[in-house]
Chains A and B, each alone.
Chain A
Amino acid sequence: MEANTRSTGRLPAAFLTPGSASFMDFLSDHQPELLPGNKKLPPVQGAIEAPHGTTIVAVTFPGGVVLAGDRRATMGNVIAQRDIEKVFPADEYSAVGIAGTAGLAVEMVKLFQLELEHFEKVEGAQLSLEGKANRLSTMIRSNLGMAMQGLAVVPLFAGYDVDREKGRIFSYDVTGGRSEEQGYAATGSGSIFARGAMKKLFREDLSEAEATTLVVQALYDAADDDSATGGPDVARRIYPIVTVITEDGFRRLSETESSEIARSVLERRLEQPDGPRAALL
Chain B
Amino acid sequence: MSTPFYVSPQQQMADRAEYARKGIARGRSLVVLQYADGIVFVGENPSRALHKFSEIYDRIGFAAAGKYNEYENLRIGGVRYADLRGYTYDRGDVTARGLANVYAQTLGTIFSSVGEKPYEVELVVAEVGETTEQDQIYRLPHDGSIVDEHGAVAVGGNAEQISSYLDQRHRDGMTLAEALKLAVQSLSRDTNGSEREIPAERLEVAVLDRTRPQKRKFKRISGRQLGRLLEADGATTASEAEADANAEAEAEASGNDE
Are the CB atoms of A118 and B83 closer together than 8 Å? yes
Asked if A249 and B255 sit within 8 Å, CB to CB, the answer is: yes
Nearest residue, chain A, Cβ from B77: A15
Q: A15-B80, A18-B73, A162-B255 are in contact. Are A8 and B105 (CB under 8 A)?
A: yes
Alpha-carbon separation in the docked complex, A93 to B88 (Å): 25
Residues of B within 8 A of A18 (CB): 73, 76
- Among residues of A, the one whose C-beta sits closest to the C-beta of B109 is A10
CB of B233 within 8 Å of the partner chain = no
Residues of B within 8 A of A117 (CB): 83, 216
A27 within 8 A of B: yes
Q: Across the interface, do B256 and A126 meet the contact criterion of CB distance under 8 Å?
A: yes
Query: How many residues on A have C-beta within 8 angstroms of the other chain's C-beta atoms?
Result: 32
Q: Is the interface of B mostly helix, strand, loop or mixed?
A: helix
CB of A192, distance to nearest CB on chain B (Å):
36
Beyond A11-B102, A121-B79, whether A16 also contacts B73 by CB under 8 A is yes
User: In the complex, which residues 103-118 of chain B have their Cβ closer than 8 Å to any Cβ of chain A?
Assistant: 103, 105-106, 108-109
Q: Which of B79-113 contact A (CB under 8 A)?
A: 79-81, 83-88, 98, 101-103, 105-106, 108-109
CB neighbours of A124 from chain B (8 A): 49, 51, 54, 258
14 examples of A-B residue contacts, CB within 8 angstroms: A5-B88, A10-B105, A10-B106, A11-B103, A11-B106, A15-B80, A15-B81, A23-B83, A92-B256, A117-B83, A121-B83, A126-B256, A247-B253, A249-B252
Task: Please name the 9 residue pairs, one residue from A and one from B, whose CB atoms are nearest each other, closest first.
Answer: A15-B77, A8-B101, A10-B105, A16-B77, A11-B77, A10-B106, A11-B106, A10-B109, A15-B80
**Interface set of B (CB-CB < 8 Å, partner A):** 49, 51, 54-56, 73-74, 76-81, 83-88, 98, 101-103, 105-106, 108-109, 216, 252-253, 255-256, 258
